[in-house]
Structure 1
Amino acid sequence: MSWYLAVLKNYAGFSGRARRKEYWMFTLFTTIVAMVLLGIGAAGAAADVPALFALVAVYYVATIIPSLAVTVRRLHDTGRSGGWFFIAFVPMIGGVWLFVLTLLDSQAEANEYGPNPKFAGMAPGQVPVAGYAG
């Protein structure tokens, strides 16, 4: 839940880097909330289909900017510009390509978007333990 709230607090922050954990925890929590809202809508509006999806639509509209921001920061963490987000609009393979890009590991060293957030608490010159997943 703290990862989700951290993304919402950085509502429109498109600069910097986002770890895989931050991105995927936000995505997981967003999906869970949408499913719960869909369930509430289904229970309250058995015959009214537009009302069924209204709660989920309002939620997705409210979280579209934080979702875009965390995706751009995730791409920054892999060393790519946020413009790579638009690869998702390529038919058939674009969404898969963006999915793979969000799965890639962070650049271990600092890049043009900032230092690696995975190692932010380490002392300068300290070497991370091999296989450290953070």
Structure 2
Amino acid sequence: MNNEIVNIVSNQPKNTSLWAYFVRSMTKNYANFKGRSRRKEFWGTTLFASIFFWLLVGISLYVSYSLRNITIYMVTFCIWTLATIIPSLSLQVRRLHDMNLSGWWLILVYVVFFFIAMAEQVFLQFSILSVIAWIIFFSINGTKGENRFGADPKAP
């Protein structure tokens, strides 16, 4: 109990497990577009969000197929998307902040994804390249020390 009070007062998360980062991203930092996010927080949240997404897809497709009603899958997918889009965007913005980049760079990323999706002939090749580029981009180490978006999240 005392550790929790110390964590709240110091504003530094004591538990840095991947699960703890996921929970904080989906609750406390749900719409927090300020500050910085380290790679561990980004990839931990991405890991657990992906696991839950694929579990929901599997379960909803199974139920939809069993009941011969695709609506269940579509509603589940829409609810998941609405529930996770804000924390996903805020996490990506904070990750860009850690690299000392503005969150507006996300617009470029999503505009490129949109135009690639519209070009059906080259969709597969470019989508694979886009995902690889996204993985590499968000794997870049953040700036050491304080930057214009706040203190280094790795600092003790």
TM-score with structure 2 setting the length: 0.70
Alpha-carbon distance in structure 1 between the residues aligned to 2:106 and 2:64? 36
8 Å contact 1:38–1:53 — kept in the other structure? no
Cα distance between partner residues in 2 of 1:32 and 1:85? 23
Partner residue of 1:23 out of 27, 36, 42: 42
Alpha carbons 1:75, 1:101 under 8 Å: kept:
no
Cα deviations across residues 45-100 of structure 1 (Å, max 9, x unaligned)?
A: 21222322321221121111110000000000011010111121124576654443
For structure 2, which runs of at least 5 residues remain unmatched after alignment?
1-18, 117-125
**Which of 71, 75, 80 is 2:92 aligned to?**
71
The corresponding residue for 2:21 is 3
| Matched pairs, number | 120
2:56 alignment partner in structure 1? 37
| Residue-by-residue CA offset, 1:2-61 (whole Å, 9 max, x unaligned) | 111111211111000000111111111111111111121122221222322321221121
Specify every segment of 5 or more residues in structure 1 that has no aligned partner in the other structure, as ranges.
122-134
CA RMSD of the aligned region, Å? 1.7
More helix by share: 2
Superposition TM-score, scaled by structure 1 size? 0.80
